[in-house]
C-alpha cells in the first residue's frame, strides 16, 4: 500500500514522503491516526506541486545540512565502552549513546535521525551510522568503539 505521510513517522519517513507499507499498518494505524493519506494519482500530483513550491525555501535548509555534513566528515569519533575478553561489550552502544557523544562534541541532533546499521553495537570495532539530516541529505558517519580506560 502506497501512502503519503502527513507528519514525520519515526522509522518510516518524514512529512510528504511517499512510502510503501503493509496494508494493515496503513489501514489500521497510519490513516486513522491522521499520519498518512492514500497515494492516489491526484494526491501524488498535489504532493509534487507542493514539493516544487517548497523547494526554493528548502534550498537554504539543504545548504545548511551540507555544511554540517562537511564538518561531520572531518570528525574522528571514538566511543569508550567497558568490554570483556574478545572485544565483547558489557551492554551495547545504541543510537542514543552515539547522539550523547555527538552532543558532547557540540552537535545537537534528535536521536530519531540517527540509525546504526544492525541496531546496536555489541563489540569493539569500527561501525557506520546513518544520519538523515534532511530529506535529501543523508550522511554516513563512521565511528569507532574502543575499550574504555578505567
DSSP 93-126: E-HHHHHHHHHHTT----GGGEEETTSSEEESEE
Buried b (16+ CB within 10 A) or exposed e, 91-106: eebebebbbebbeeee
Kindly report the pTM of this predicted structure. Answer: 0.66
Looking at domain 2-62, its CATH architecture is 3-Layer(aba) Sandwich (3.40)
The residues of the chain that CATH labels 3.10.430.100 are 68-147
The residues of the chain that CATH labels 3.40.5.10 are 2-62
pLDDT digits (tens, 9 = 90+) for 11-33: 888 888 899 999 999 999 999 99
Nearest to 110 by CA among 127, 133, 126, 93: 133
Confidence of residue 150 (pLDDT cuts 50, 70, 90): low
Instruction: State the CATH class of domain 68-147.
Output: alpha beta
Residue 14: its H or E element: none
Amino acid at each position: 500500500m502506497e501512502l503519503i505521510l502527513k507528519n514525520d513517522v519515526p522509522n518510516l519517513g518524514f512529512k510528504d514522503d511517499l512510502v510503501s507499507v503493509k496494508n494493515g499498518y496503513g489501514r489500521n494505524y497510519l490513516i486513522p491516526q491522521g499520519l498518512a493519506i492514500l497515494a492516489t494519482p491526484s494526491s501524488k500530483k498535489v504532493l509534487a506541486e507542493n514539493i516544487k513550491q517548497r523547494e526554493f525555501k528548502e534550498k537554504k535548509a539543504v545548504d545548511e545540512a551540507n555544511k554540517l555534513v562537511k564538518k561531520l566528515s572531518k570528525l574522528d569519533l571514538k566511543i569508550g565502552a567497558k568490554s570483556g575478553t574478545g572485544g565483547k561489550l558489557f551492554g551495547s552502544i545504541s543510537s542514543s549513546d552515539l547522539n550523547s557523544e555527538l552532543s558532547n562534541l557540540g552537535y545537537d541532533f534528535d536521536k530519531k535521525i540517527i540509525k546504526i546499521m544492525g541496531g546496536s553495537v555489541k563489540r569493539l570495532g569500527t561501525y557506520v551510522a546513518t544520519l538523515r539530516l534532511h530529506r535529501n541529505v543523508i550522511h554516513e558517519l563512521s565511528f569507532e568503539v574502543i575499550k574504555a580506560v578505567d
